[in-house]
A and B are shown apart, each in its own frame.
Chain A
């Protein structure tokens, strides 16, 4: 059997040393599992240092040995050769070592009689732990890559693909080891393969993290284009750049949502433009029949030989055509203001003259309704200022008309004065003793198409655009408008506008 042994030279001394210096723990037993020989490594490995074991039974030394081991011993003593690569081996302190072992019989000189058992063991705990750790890292890597929706490509510093996730079955072998540049250029849907390549070069040279957007073949839908948001991050080994990892996120859905949003905004703008044009056209088209109604009725009321009934009807037609015209003008105005198409002029004008004009125009109207008209003008206000006097008049006219409309008894007061806290501003106050506005409506009355519910007693008419126009014009002029009012006691509308002095 021992064909490789030169029996005449190999003496027991050499054999003993061979045994002793074996890198494994080695023990030789007889058929009764009594120790014939064991090296120091065996002693050390199984806590037997200082104990006499030769001649003693393995079972006497390890009385707690498992039946499993006893069975292994018996099988081997019957001729079997058994081994394990990593057998868990519980220790007294609760830890578990891993053991690689082989058990086999040894034969007498006749080569047929089993003389006992040979045991070779080796503690491989460290290797097992390392393997486990590697396995864990691998699992983590897989979790980070395969289960991650992002695309991860590891490149060495020459730009060769080392590892890549989300590769379909069978493609992997073709891709790993391929130049990333070639992979990019092979994508017919890639918009700019040179961009990531130059950024990759930069990362390798400078260590900078680079970011870019790109388009390429979708990994989800074959043949479709996807948008990617990518980072190139340098990879270090011993503080030296050895490559880079590219992490690409498919942002197609976000992009699609963004494009849809942009499309919606475009359509909205289109419809706003359309609305604007529509209103302009409508206003023109409405004016043509208005011209006939207003023209004939304004001529009709002047006809000398009309009876009272007919004249009264003519007057009602004329008054209502004026209301309709105001409404058309208001709608056109609000649409132009909303479309940002109202441009204020900055012309010099005489404030004193303008305010006097407001008084003379509206005093009559108030008096006609049986109301007193009080006019308070602060003569220390500058005479010549700059601004849009027509639009200022529009603000005041709207507010005075409202005041007269909603007041049945008492007075209308128009006050024009310096603003208390700031001499570079003026206040225009229109105070009435009318029906007033309940607190709960104060914040709403400046909204478009709002007219506070008055109950069914009286309908005041109007589309509720006047105050909205007033507020928008005030804001355009850099001013404000506010209301103070009590239900049943009257209202004060306060307009505060900056005074733009003329530099002469």
Chain B
């Protein structure tokens, strides 16, 4: 059974976003669901974090300075230590085809900004439920 109150209890999640408020909002929503959140301001910083800790999944913005979400995805998927970590794209581009593009680049799914707490958690849980590696821990 999914813990409705705390669906992400004891999970470690990495949030990558260059926008301060976006990082806080996502972090607060994830913490609300019981997760422990670490943040990074861009892809390069995220790779630094990944050297130290391996989160259960990553939520990453796409357009960021220094190293963007696409480049981060490439690095993660080409490193055997991190290749298994699911990465979900967070983007403000509500363009049709973005989801397909993100999936093709290796992202496991795609969530549109702006985030609405209840909708976001429903969407996130639905996405996680589609991933075989999480079905066990969520149910």
Q: What sequence of 0s and 1s flags, for each residue 280-322 of chain A, a beta carbon within 8 Å of any chain B beta carbon?
A: 1001100111111111101101100000000000000010011
A379–B116 Cα distance when bound, in Å, is 36
The 6 closest A-B pairs by CB, nearest first: A295-B25, A298-B117, A292-B21, A287-B92, A291-B114, A290-B114
Q: In the complex, which of the residues B25, B94, B113 contacts A296, with contact meaning CB atoms closer than 8 Å?
A: B25
> Is the C-beta of A332 less than 8 angstroms from some C-beta in chain B?
yes
Q: What sequence of 0s and 1s flags, for each residue 49-87 of chain B, a beta carbon within 8 Å of any chain A beta carbon?
A: 000000000000000000000000000000000000000
Contact A299 B117, beta carbon cutoff 8 Å? yes
Known: A287-B94, A291-B92, A332-B94. A299 touches B32 (CB 8 A): yes
> Is the C-beta of A329 less than 8 angstroms from some C-beta in chain B?
yes
Q: Residue of A at shortest CB range from B22?
A: A291
> Is the C-beta of B95 less than 8 angstroms from some C-beta in chain A?
yes
B residues 103-126 near A (Cβ < 8 Å) are: 113-120
Q: In the complex, which of the residues A287, A291, A302 contacts B25, with contact meaning CB atoms closer than 8 Å?
A: A291
Q: Residue of A at shortest CB range from B21?
A: A292
Contact B117 A291, beta carbon cutoff 8 Å? no
> Is the C-beta of A325 less than 8 angstroms from some C-beta in chain B?
yes
Q: In the complex, which of the residues A283, A301, A318 contacts B94, with contact meaning CB atoms closer than 8 Å?
A: A283
19 contacts between A and B (CB under 8 A): A283-B94, A284-B92, A288-B21, A290-B114, A291-B92, A291-B115, A292-B19, A292-B21, A295-B21, A295-B25, A295-B115, A295-B116, A298-B115, A298-B116, A298-B117, A298-B119, A299-B28, A325-B114, A342-B96
Q: Residue of B at shortest CB range from A287?
A: B92
Residues of B within 8 Å of A329, CB to CB, are 94
Residues of B within 8 Å of A291, CB to CB, are 19, 21-22, 25, 92, 113-115
CB distance from A121 to the nearest CB of B (A): 103
Contact B92 A299, beta carbon cutoff 8 Å? no
Contact B25 A292, beta carbon cutoff 8 Å? yes
Interface-centre pick from B95, B113, B118, B120 (highest chain A CB count, 10 A):
B113
Residues of B within 8 Å of A288, CB to CB, are 19, 21-22, 92, 113
CB distance from B28 to the nearest CB of A (A): 5
A: which residues have CB within 8 A of B? 280, 283-284, 287-296, 298-299, 301-302, 318, 321-322, 325, 329, 332, 342-343
Q: What sequence of 0s and 1s flags, for each residue 20-46 of chain B, a beta carbon within 8 Å of any chain A beta carbon?
A: 011011101100100000000000000
A321–B115 Cα distance when bound, in Å, is 11
B: which residues have CB within 8 A of A? 19, 21-22, 24-26, 28-29, 32, 92-96, 113-120
Contact A294 B94, beta carbon cutoff 8 Å? no
Q: Residue of B at shortest CB range from A328?
A: B94
Residues of A within 8 Å of B113, CB to CB, are 287-288, 290-291
Contact B22 A294, beta carbon cutoff 8 Å? no
A98–B83 Cα distance when bound, in Å, is 116
Contact A295 B19, beta carbon cutoff 8 Å? no
Residues of A within 8 Å of B26, CB to CB, are 295
A318–B21 Cα distance when bound, in Å, is 16
Q: In the complex, which of the residues A287, A299, A343 contacts B114, with contact meaning CB atoms closer than 8 Å?
A: A287
User: Could you list 7 further interchain pairs (A-B, Cβ under 8 angstroms) beyond the known A284-B92, A291-B92?
Assistant: A280-B93, A288-B92, A290-B113, A295-B25, A295-B28, A302-B117, A329-B94
A295–B111 Cα distance when bound, in Å, is 14
Contact B115 A294, beta carbon cutoff 8 Å? yes
Residues of B within 8 Å of A299, CB to CB, are 25, 28-29, 32, 117
Contact A292 B32, beta carbon cutoff 8 Å? no
Q: Residue of A at shortest CB range from B116?
A: A298
Q: Residue of B at shortest CB range from A281?
A: B93
Q: Residue of A at shortest CB range from B93?
A: A284
Contact B29 A295, beta carbon cutoff 8 Å? yes
A295–B32 Cα distance when bound, in Å, is 12
Residues of B within 8 Å of A280, CB to CB, are 93, 95
A299–B28 Cα distance when bound, in Å, is 8
CB distance from B18 to the nearest CB of A (A): 10
Residues of B within 8 Å of A321, CB to CB, are 114
